[in-house]
Structure 1
Amino acid sequence: MRQIVIAGIQTNMCNETTARMGGNLGYDVLFPLDAMHTFDLTGPFGWTLTADELTRATAVSLHGGQFARVVTTEEVLAAAAK
């Protein structure tokens, strides 16, 4: 099985891009949301999203788009211990 686990900074930028590419390349992508971090962001028209809102949007996009399995660090570690 070709599998990757993604962690780090920034959830909605580099991490999300890596997950999408991994999914497109046929990897089983695990995305432990609690092993990441992002920051509030201001976009066009003065719109601002909090880090929590951006994290949730990323999780929904990746899960709903079937690019990755959004999981917890505990789930990744439990699977690795088997």
Structure 2
Amino acid sequence: MTQGLILIDFQKGFEAPIWGQRNNKDAETNAAGLLAAWRAGHAPVVHVRHASTQAGSPLAKGSAGFAFMDALAPKGDEPVFEKSVNSAFIGTGLEAYLRDQSIKAVVIAGLTTPHCVSTSARMAANLGFDVILAHDACATFARNGDMSWSDASMAIDPETSHQIAVAHLHGEFVRAQSCDEILKSL
């Protein structure tokens, strides 16, 4: 079975200070290790990036932050899908591409764990793909109680947010594994 690697939103805009405190400073390095292994094995790699429609977003199309992080930028004919919602499958040709390439299993890594990564992983599973989440090649930011239903006492640190998101996915939508576990199984 061909296993594809889906890299979600590894964009320079996520380096902007506006996002605040972040967990897992090694996420990009770990994802780059997966990317190198997939490329070495000539396995399918898919890049997804967010084209924000919010004014002033660091991820807005045409902004410097829209660009891929250098270590995780596409090469050659690796496909790129652009989305403007959380799911990599909504408004893109990702599902059709995976099916056309006979890819039935995917490894997902990206930013941010409880948002675009989680939404895309859930959808991939619901569409019938076998999904592995490279949990240590994902990261997120603190939730600062800035939601209209919340207050500052509801703030969630980034590591807790990440762990909760992974826990919600593991066993129901994905198999959460470390990059080392994934690389050993190749």
Question: Residue 52 of structure 1 is aligned with which of 144, 159, 172?
Answer: 159
Question: Residue 7 of structure 1 is aligned with which of 85, 109, 117?
Answer: 109
Contact 2:113 2:166 in 1 (8 A): no
Runs of at least 4 residues off by over 3 Å = none
2:108 aligned with 1:30? no
Deviations 1:29-52 (A, max 9, x none): 100110011111123122110111
In structure 2, stretches of 5+ residues that fail to align are: 2-103
Q: Which amino acid aligns with 2:184?
A: A
Query: As a proportion of its length, which structure holds more helix?
Result: 1
In structure 1, stretches of 5+ residues that fail to align are: none
Considering Cα pairs closer than 8 Å and 6+ residues apart, tell me whether 1 or 2 has the greater RCO. Answer: 1
Question: Residue 122 of structure 2 is aligned with which of 13, 20, 44?
Answer: 20
TM-score, normalization by structure 2:
0.41
Number of residues paired by the alignment? 79
Rg (Cα) greater in structure = 2
- Alpha-carbon RMSD across the aligned residues, in angstroms, is 1.2
TM-score, normalization by structure 1:
0.88
